[in-house]
C-alpha cells in the first residue's frame, strides 16, 4: 500500500510541469475569455467589471435602438453559417485533392517518398500571410490566371475571383492541404495493398474496391485529416481577410472586429466561446465516427 | 478429347523489365490443367510458379501467349471478371469485416440476393468448421483459422478454378499437415479444380493428382507424383524431388559402364555419355564378394529413426547414399571402413542424358 501511494505521488510530481503548462497556457486564457463574455463592454473597448449576460444575448439577438424590439441577429447567424459551410467545403476540397496526392506518394518506392512528402510540406514552412498574398497575386483580375486565360482566348474579360467565397475556398484549401495529405499518407502507407488484389479477385469493381475496402480502412486518416483542416478553417482569419475582402467575413474576422472597431469585448469573448463549442461538437462527431469505423469504439 | 482443359496456358511468356535487363519469369510455358484435378506447380523460389498463378488469376498480363478457361480465351479479362478465386499466401483477409462478411464478400460483389449470401456463407463456414466464429473480426483468429476463412472466402462464389499460392507456408508443421488433409477433403467435396503452388516437394507428392515441376521460368515435367518421383525427366527434377545418387557413365546398347568401374544392364534410355540416377532407398547392400555387385567402402552411418543413411564410396571415391530400413534394435550391424557390395533394385536405375 505504502509503495503504491509513493508511486502515485511520484506520478503527480512528474506530470506537474505538464499540468502547469496546461493550466497556465490553455485553461487560464480560456477562463479569462469566459469571464469577459459575462461582463459589460467599456465605451472605448475593454470591460467594466459588472456581471451581465448581454453579450450572450447579443450573439443571437438584436435590440432595436429606438423601439427596444428584439429580433434574431440574422447577420451573426449568416456569418456563423458561412464559416461552417466554407470550412466544410474546404475540408471536402482538401480531401478531393489530398487523397489522390497521398495515394500517389504512398505508392512511390520508399526512397522517393521522403522527397515527395518534403515537397508537400515546403509551403508549410513559409509565412501564412505571404502564401495568402501569393494566391491573391494569382487570382486577382490583373493576376496570372486571368492574364493567361485572356491571352489564350478563353475569356474576354477577367473573371472576378478575388473577394468572393471561391477565393476564400481556394486559399484555405491550399493553405491546409498538407494537414490533409500527411495523415492520409500515414493511413494509406499502413494499408495492405494485397487486399486490393484480394478484392479484385472476388469480383469487386474498381469503385467497389474503393468504397468497400480502401475508404473503410484508411478512415482513421480521413478523420484525422478532416479534423486538422476543418478546425483551423473554422477559425481562419488571415485567408478570408486577404482573399475574401471586407464583406465576406468569417467568424475569425467577426471576432476580431468586436475587439477592434466594434469595441465590444464581451461580444467578441462570447463569440469565441461559441466558436470553441462548435469545434468541440465537431470533434465529438468525428471521434464517434472514427470509433465506429475501426471497431475500437 | 473434346472436353477442354479447365485451365490452359498456351506458349505463355512473361518478361519483367525491358531490353537488356529484361528477365523472363516465364519462358514459353504451356500446360493444361484438367477439370476437377488437384494440380501442383512445384519449384524453387523464383522459378516462375507464382507468376504463372498470377497470370491465371489475371493480376498480370502475359507478354505473349494465352490463358484459356474451359477452352475460352480469358487473357484480356480482368481478375474481377474471371470465375477464378485465389487463396493468398498472406491470406489477405479484410480486417474491417467479420469472418462471415469476409466469406460473403465475393457473392456480395456479384450482387447476389441477401438470402443466398447468408445461406452460402453458412454452408461455407460449416465446410471449414468455423460456424462458431462467424461474428468475429479476422484479427481475433489464429493462423490456422485465418487460413480456413481465406479458403471459405475463395470457395464461396463457387469458382471454376481455385488458385492456392503457397497458403500453407506460414503454418507450423502440425497445422500444415492438418490443412493438407483439409484441402484434399475440400477439393473432394466441392469438385472444384485446384491449382496449388508450393516449393515443398513432400507436400506436392502427397496432395497432387498431377505435378508440374518448374525451374527458371520453364515447366520441366508434368505428371502424376509417382511418375515424377520414379521417372524424373532430367537431373533437376531428380535432385529437386527427393534425394538421388548421380553416377557418371557411358551407355551403349543396353550396357552401362560406370566411370567408377562396374557395369549395369538397363532397358532403353539415351546412348553415349549419361548419368545414372538411382534413389537411395533402391540401393541394396550385399556381401562385397557377391558377383555383379559394385565394390564400395562404408564411410559414414547416419541414424534417422525409421531408416539409416549409409554413405559409401565407390572405387574412384564417388559417393553413393543407401537408405536402409532400421532394424528393431536400431543397430544396422555395419561399421565405417567396412567393405560392402552395392546392388540397385531392378527397374530402379534411370539414365539421364547429359
Last residue of a domain, one of B235, B260, B291: B235
Residue B92 in domain: yes
What is the per-residue pLDDT for A292? 60
A291 touches chain B (CB under 8 A): no
Grid cell listed for A58: 447579443
- Determine the Cα–Cα distance for residues B162 and B153; give it in Å rounded to an integer: 11
Q: What is the DSSP string of B111-175?
A: T--HHHHHHHHHHHHHHTT-GGGTTSBGGGS-HHHHHHHHHHHHHTT--SEEEEESTTTTS-HHH
Verify whether the Cβ–Cβ distance A295 to B96 is below 8 Å: yes
Distance from CA of B104 to the nearest CA of A (A): 10
Distance CA B330, CA B351 (A): 34
Q: How far is CA A130 from the centre of its chain?
A: 19
Number of domains in chain B: 2
Give the CATH number of the domain where residue B228 resides. Answer: 3.40.50.300
Task: Indicate whether B157 belongs to any domain.
Answer: yes
Q: Tell me which architecture the domain covering A94-251 has in CATH.
A: Orthogonal Bundle (1.10)
Per-residue pLDDT, B329: 82
**Given B203, B235, B267, which residue is the final one in a domain?**
B235
Q: Is residue B299 domain-resident?
A: yes
Say whether B341 sits in a helix, a strand or coil.
strand
Q: Are residues B167 and B302 in the same domain?
A: no
Q: Can you give the CATH number for the domain in which B335 is found? A: 2.40.50.140
Distance between CA atoms of B112 and B121, rounded to whole angstroms?
Answer: 12
> Are B165 and B264 in the same domain?
no
Residue B146 resides in a domain = yes
Q: What is the pLDDT of residue B270?
A: 84
Please provide the average confidence, as pLDDT, over all residues in chain A: 89
In a shared domain, residues B217 and B73: yes
| pLDDT value, residue A2 | 66
| Domain housing B27 | 7-235
Looking at the structure, tell me whether residues B163 and B302 fall in a common domain. no
Q: For residue B52, what pLDDT is reported?
A: 96
Which pLDDT score, from 0 to 100, does residue B176 have? 87
Cell numbers of B263, please?
557395369
Q: What is the CA radius of gyration of chain A?
A: 24
Say yes or no: B42 and B176 in one domain.
yes
Residues of B in contact with A217 (CB under 8 A): 95-96
Residues 6 or more apart whose Cβ sits within 8 Å of residue A231? A279, A282, A283
Q: What is the block-wise mean pLDDT of chain B (354 residues), using blocks of 10 residues?
A: 83 87 89 95 93 95 95 95 94 95 96 95 92 92 92 95 89 86 90 94 93 95 94 91 91 86 81 90 88 89 89 90 86 86 87 80
User: Quick check: A205 contacting B, CB < 8 Å?
Assistant: yes
Q: Could you tell me if B253 and B201 lie in one domain? A: no
* 3-state secondary structure at position B108: helix
ipTM surpasses 0.90: no
Q: Is residue B248 domain-shared with residue B230, that is, in the same domain?
A: no
B79, B96, B153 ranked by CB distance to A200: nearest? B79
**B162 shares its domain with B23:** yes
Q: Given an 8 Å threshold on Cβ–Cβ distance, is B80 in contact with A201?
A: yes
Whether residue B44 is contained in a domain is answered as: yes
B2 belongs to a structural domain: no
Cβ-in-10-Å burial (0-12, 13-18, 19+) of B219 comes to: buried
Half-sphere exposure of A213 (CA within 13 A, CB side): 27
Q: Is B80's CB within 8 Å of A194's CB?
A: no
User: pLDDT tens for residues A25-55?
Assistant: 889 999 999 999 999 998 888 889 999 988 9
B215 and B287 both lie in a single domain:
no
Above 70 in pLDDT, residue A293? no
Q: For residue B287, which of B345, B336, B334 has the smallest C-alpha distance? A: B334
Q: What is the mean pLDDT of residues A216-240?
A: 92
Please check whether residue B1 lies inside any domain of the structure: no
Does residue A16 sit in helix, strand or coil? helix
Based on the domain organization, do B317 and B224 belong to the same domain?
Answer: no
* pLDDT recorded at residue B310: 92
| Residues sharing a CB contact under 8 Å with residue B2, sequence separation 6 or more, in sequence order | none
Q: What is the pLDDT of residues A174-207, one digit of tens each?
A: 999 999 999 999 999 999 999 999 999 999 999 9
Residue A215 near chain B (CB below 8 Å): no
Residues contacting residue B69 through CB under 8 Å, at least 6 positions apart = B6, B7, B82, B83, B84, B160, B161
**How many Cβ atoms from other residues are within 10 Å of residue B221's Cβ?**
20
Longest dimension (CA), chain B: 79
In chain B, the residue whose alpha carbon lies closest to the alpha carbon of A197 is B59
- Cell for A275? 466558436
Same domain, B129 and B43: yes
- Give me the pLDDT at residue A296, please: 39
Chain A residue with the nearest C-alpha to that of B85: A201
Residues B135 and B215 in one domain: yes
Across residues A105-126, what is the average pLDDT? Answer: 90
Rg for chain B, CA atoms, rounded: 25
Amino acid at each position: 500500500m505504502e509503495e503504491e501511494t509513493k508511486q502515485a505521488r511520484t506520478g503527480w510530481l512528474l506530470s506537474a510541469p505538464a499540468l502547469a503548462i496546461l493550466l497556465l497556457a490553455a485553461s487560464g486564457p480560456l477562463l479569462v475569455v469566459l469571464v469577459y463574455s459575462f461582463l459589460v463592454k467599456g465605451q472605448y473597448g475593454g470591460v467594466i467589471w459588472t456581471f451581465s449576460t448581454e453579450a450572450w444575448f447579443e450573439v443571437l439577438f438584436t435590440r432595436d435602438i429606438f423601439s427596444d424590439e428584439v429580433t434574431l441577429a440574422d447577420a451573426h447567424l449568416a456569418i456563423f453559417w458561412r464559416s461552417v459551410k466554407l470550412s466544410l467545403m474546404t475540408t471536402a476540397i482538401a480531401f478531393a485533392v489530398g487523397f489522390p496526392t497521398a495515394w500517389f506518394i504512398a505508392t512511390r518506392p520508399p526512397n522517393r517518398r521522403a522527397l515527395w512528402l518534403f515537397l508537400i510540406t515546403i509551403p508549410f514552412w513559409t509565412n501564412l500571410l505571404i502564401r495568402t498574398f501569393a494566391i491573391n497575386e494569382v487570382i486577382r483580375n490583373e493576376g496570372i490566371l486571368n492574364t493567361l486565360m485572356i491571352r489564350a482566348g478563353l475569356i474576354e474579360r477577367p473573371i472576378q475571383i478575388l473577394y468572393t467565397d471561391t477565393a476564400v475556398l481556394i486559399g484555405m484549401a491550399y493553405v491546409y492541404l498538407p494537414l490533409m495529405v500527411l495523415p492520409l499518407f500515414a493511413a494509406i502507407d499502413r494499408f495492405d495493398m494485397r487486399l486490393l488484389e484480394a478484392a479484385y479477385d472476388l469480383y469487386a469493381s474498381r469503385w467497389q474496391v474503393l468504397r468497400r475496402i480502401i475508404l473503410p480502412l484508411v478512415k482513421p486518416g480521413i478523420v484525422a485529416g478532416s479534423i486538422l483542416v476543418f478546425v483551423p478553417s473554422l477559425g481562419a482569419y488571415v485567408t478570408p481577410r486577404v482573399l475574401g475582402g471586407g464583406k465576406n467575413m468569417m467568424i475569425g474576422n467577426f471576432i476580431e472586429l468586436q475587439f477592434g472597431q466594434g469595441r465590444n469585448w464581451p461580444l467578441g469573448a462570447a463569440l469565441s466561446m461559441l466558436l470553441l463549442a462548435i469545434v468541440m461538437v465537431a470533434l465529438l462527431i468525428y471521434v464517434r465516427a472514427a470509433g465506429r469505423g475501426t471497431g475500437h469504439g | 478429347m473434346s472436353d477442354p482443359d479447365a485451365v490452359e496456358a498456351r506458349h505463355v511468356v512473361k518478361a519483367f523489365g525491358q531490353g537488356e535487363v529484361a528477365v523472363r519469369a516465364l519462358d514459353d510455358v504451356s500446360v493444361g490443367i484438367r477439370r476437377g484435378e488437384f494440380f501442383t506447380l512445384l519449384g524453387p523460389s523464383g522459378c516462375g510458379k507464382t507468376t504463372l498463378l498470377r497470370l491465371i488469376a489475371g493480376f498480370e498480363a502475359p507478354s505473349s501467349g494465352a490463358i484459356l478457361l474451359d477452352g475460352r480465351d480469358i487473357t484480356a479479362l480482368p481478375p474481377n471478371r474471371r470465375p477464378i478465386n485465389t487463396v493468398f499466401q498472406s491470406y489477405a483477409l479484410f480486417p474491417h469485416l467479420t469472418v462471415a462478411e469476409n466469406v460473403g464478400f465475393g457473392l456480395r460483389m456479384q450482387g447476389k440476393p441477401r438470402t443466398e449470401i447468408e445461406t452460402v456463407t453458412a454452408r461455407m463456414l460449416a465446410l471449414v468448421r468455423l460456424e462458431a466464429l462467424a461474428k468475429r473480426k479476422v484479427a481475433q483468429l489464429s493462423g490456422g483459422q485465418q487460413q480456413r476463412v481465406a479458403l471459405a472466402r475463395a470457395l464461396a462464389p463457387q469458382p471454376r478454378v481455385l488458385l492456392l499460392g503457397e497458403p500453407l507456408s506460414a503454418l507450423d508443421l502440425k497445422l500444415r499437415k492438418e490443412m493438407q488433409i483439409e484441402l484434399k477433403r475440400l477439393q473432394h467435396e466441392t469438385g472444384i479444380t485446384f491449382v496449388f503452388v508450393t516449393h515443398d516437394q513432400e507436400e506436392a507428392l502427397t496432395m497432387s493428382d498431377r505435378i508440374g515441376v518448374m525451374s527458371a521460368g520453364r515447366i520441366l515435367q508434368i505428371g502424376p507424383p509417382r511418375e515424377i518421383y520414379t521417372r524424373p525427366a532430367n537431373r533437376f527434377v531428380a535432385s529437386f524431388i527427393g534425394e538421388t545418387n548421380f553416377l557418371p557413365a557411358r551407355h551403349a546398347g543396353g550396357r552401362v559402364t560406370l566411370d567408377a568401374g562396374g557395369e549395369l544392364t538397363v532397358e532403353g534410355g539415351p546412348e553415349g555419355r549419361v548419368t545414372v540416377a538411382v534413389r537411395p532407398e533402391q540401393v541394396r547392400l550385399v556381401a562385397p564378394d557377391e558377383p555383379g555387385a559394385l565394390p564400395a567402402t562404408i564411410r559414414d552411418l547416419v541414424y534417422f529413426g525409421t531408416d539409416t543413411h549409409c554413405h559409401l564410396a565407390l572405387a574412384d571415391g564417388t559417393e553413393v547414399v543407401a537408405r536402409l530400413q532400421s532394424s528393431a534394435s536400431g543397430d544396422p550391424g555395419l561399421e565405417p571402413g567396412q567393405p560392402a557390395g552395392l546392388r540397385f533394385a531392378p527397374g530402379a536405375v534411370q539414365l539421364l542424358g547429359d
